[in-house]
Amino acid sequence: MASGYRVRKNEGHHYRVIRSLEYTINAAQTLIQQMDKFRQKRNISDYERVGTITQVEADAMVTLARNLRELVIDWMKRNHPELLSG
């Protein structure tokens, strides 16, 4: 959103947000692939089977999310510092 893009809530919006990381914050393909893998796994657990995500996978996703957050904050500091508070 900081760069003027917005994904509408429709089919595939999570996929589009993840794929956009390459173009918005210049995220590495490995990060994008990991995020998409977890997105796919989440969809299966939400819609097809319960209990398919292990604690190890959940911990890995939390670590990945923290890393992504730091990448976004660093990108925001360089590109849109006026949008960051304190």
Read off the pLDDT of residues 39-82 as tens digits, 9 standing for 90 and up. 888 766 555 566 677 889 889 999 999 999 999 999 999 999 99
User: How many helices (H) and strands (E) in the chain?
Assistant: 3, 0
Distances (CA, A) of 20 to 45, 53, 56: 24, 25, 27
Identity of residue 36: D
Burial of 5 (0-12, 13-18, 19+ CB in 10 A): exposed
Over residues 6-45, the pLDDT tens digits come to: 777 877 788 888 998 999 899 999 999 999 998 888 766 5
Under DSSP, is residue 35 helix (H, G, I), strand (E, B) or coil? Answer: helix
Which pLDDT belongs to residue 46?
53
